Amino acid sequence: MGYKPSYAKTVKRTGPRDIALTEYSSSILSMIASGRARSRADLARTLNLAPSTITIKVNELMEAGLISESGSGSATGGRRPTLLELVPDAGFILAADLGAHHLWVGRLNLSGNLLVSEIRTIDINDGPEVVLPQAAAMMRALSDPAVDPPLRGVGMSLPGPVNFALGALDSPSRMRGWHEFKVRNWLAEEFGTLAVVDNDANMMALGEHTLRQRESPDSKVRQNTLFLKAGAAIGCGLIIDGQVYRGSTGAAGDIAHVQIPAAGDAPCSCGNRGCLETVASGSAIIRDLAAVGIDAADVNDIVRQVNNGDPHTTTRVRTAGRILGQTLSIVVNFVNPDVVVLGGGLSQLEPYVAAVRSQLYESCHPLATKNIVIEASLAGSQAGLLGAGQLCLRTVLAS
């Protein structure tokens, strides 16, 4: 047997177009897909390669039919760049966003654009054996294998703590039957393709980050994003240097189950008492409103009531925002991100966003809030689906 080089850099791509691409080719694809580079000159700068090298690689990729030129960008004092894009028809990605009560699936092209999507209600407690086949069926329904370009990968966002290396949930609370069920492997086998799964907050963070990266041209400097998902539950995802940060055991980003004084010893879904989530989450608001006779079935009801000007609900939402802001300020001080994005259902409410923002400005060190941007999510409810697609796309293109 031979020598099996672990440093191997040359990648053979087999598939409809059988062409040998070198190491940097996949980086180029990733850069274009994620919006981190849009022209040859961009690529040279971002990847720290000679322009001449980029010319060669880009030509190869164009001949292989994987990327194409798409007009020219705006000039900045010189010749205008020729923009590059992934050829959308070179393949597609399926993504799914799984929640406690919803299942949202979508199809994306290789540029990471969501083409079609579909949603239905489910009960996560039916377990993976019931839910995953439902998801697979819905995803299949979004594509016609006879017509569509080949499926390149599947990404799924899961509503609990994910062991990324294992591709499974790790002791999720209130998700019967999901503990250590290997979701990634199941998907990979079911679709016969590459699959990725991650925690919903991480996925949303990545989706939002990618979107912002594309929207703004000066995005080169905004590479550290803290994404806070405030819906029925609270979750947090962190992007450092454009990548999802997962920490040592994959638990990074946990903020919901911090003990805070304002919570007293209210019991939490995690089994502990006095967690932030028992005060600042959508569920907590619903519980407190019920106690004073105001009926809200879910976060959407809260949103509706606040938009209708219900003073009681609005006050409660504002309080939740302020308390969340206090805890969040500790993390913002420590991580010092350039963007804090608020997502999840509650982020639709201006009073909530305003409360978090003002609390952050009040509690953080001035150096930490110097150039910070604190905003509601641009991706909105699509964040999870976009992120799942994006993570899958990055994995596909990097392999």
* Residues lying near DNA in the complex (CB under 7 A): 2-3, 5, 7-10, 20, 22-24, 39-42, 48-59, 72, 75-82
The interface with its own copies within residues 337-376 (CB under 8 A) comprises 337-338, 363, 365-368, 370-372
Residue in 16, 65, 247, 264 binding its own copies, rule: CB under 8 A? 247
**If binding is defined by CB under 8 A, does position 50 make contact with its own copies?**
yes
CA distances from 333 to 252, 313, 367 (A): 16, 30, 9
Site map 139..168 versus its own copies, x via CB under 8 A: ----------------------x-------
* Interface stretch with its own copies, choices 45-53, 96-104, 145-153, 383-391 (CB under 8 A): 45-53
Contacts of 120 (CB under 8 A, 6+ apart): 102, 103, 134, 138
Q: Which stretch binds its own copies (CB under 8 A): 102-110, 182-190, 243-251, 375-383?
A: 243-251
Considering CB distances under 5 to 8 angstroms, the limit depending on partner class, which of DNA, its own copies, none binds residue 57? DNA
Residue 89 DSSP one-character state: G
Residue 332: Cβ within 10 Å count? 22
Min dist CB 322 to DNA, Å, is 45
Q: What is the C-alpha to C-alpha distance for residues 15 and 64, in angstroms, rounded to an integer?
A: 11
The CA-to-CA distance between both ends of the chain, in Å, stands at 24
Of these partners, DNA, its own copies, none, which one is at the site of residue 293 (CB under 5 to 8 Å by kind)? none
If the CB atoms of residues 23 and 180 are measured against DNA, the closer one turns out to be 23
Cβ atoms 238, 204 nearer than 8 A: no
Instruction: Report the nearest approach of its own copies to the CB of residue 210 (Å).
Output: 18
Task: Kindly give the pairing relationship between strand 225-230 and strand 162-163.
Answer: unpaired
In eight-state DSSP terms, residue 39 is: B
- Residue 7 vs 146, nearer CB to DNA: 7
What is the smallest separation between the CB atom of 45 and DNA, expressed in angstroms? 7
How far is it, in rounded angstroms, from Cα 214 to Cα 274?
Answer: 40
Helix, strand or coil, per DSSP, at residue 311: helix
What CA–CA distance (Å, rounded) separates 342 from 94?
Answer: 25
- Rounded to a whole number of angstroms, the minimum distance from the CB of residue 331 to its own copies is 5
* Backbone conformation region of residue 47, classed left if phi is above 0, alpha if psi is from -120 to 50, else beta: alpha
Q: Which of 141, 290, 330, 398 binds its own copies (CB under 8 A)?
A: 330
Given the rule CB under 8 A, which of 4-12, 89-97, 144-152, 378-386 is the region that contacts its own copies?
Answer: 4-12
Comparison of 6 and 14: residue with beta carbon closer to its own copies? 6
**What CA–CA distances, in Å, run from 323 to 21, 238, 343, 361?**
52, 20, 16, 13
Taking CB under 8 A as the binding criterion, the range among 113-121, 185-193, 200-208, 235-243 that sits at the site for its own copies is 235-243
Cβ within 8 Å of residue 79, ≥6 positions away = none
Judged by CB, which is closer to DNA: 14, or 48?
48
**Mutual orientation of helices 311-335 and 299-307 as an angle, nearest 10°?**
110
Closer residue to DNA (CB): 61 or 385: 61
Whichever of 165 and 290 has its CB closer to its own copies, that residue is 165
Least distance in Å: CB of 31 to DNA? 13
Residues 210, 207, 86, 246: is their CA dihedral positive or negative? Answer: positive
Task: Residue 146: name its binding partner from its own copies, DNA, none (Cβ under 5 to 8 Å by kind).
Answer: none
Backbone phi, psi, residue 152, to 5°: -100, -25
**Where does this chain bind its own copies (CB under 8 A)?**
5-7, 9, 44-45, 48-51, 161, 170-171, 224, 236, 238, 240, 245-255, 257-259, 261, 326-327, 329-331, 333-338, 363, 365-368, 370-372
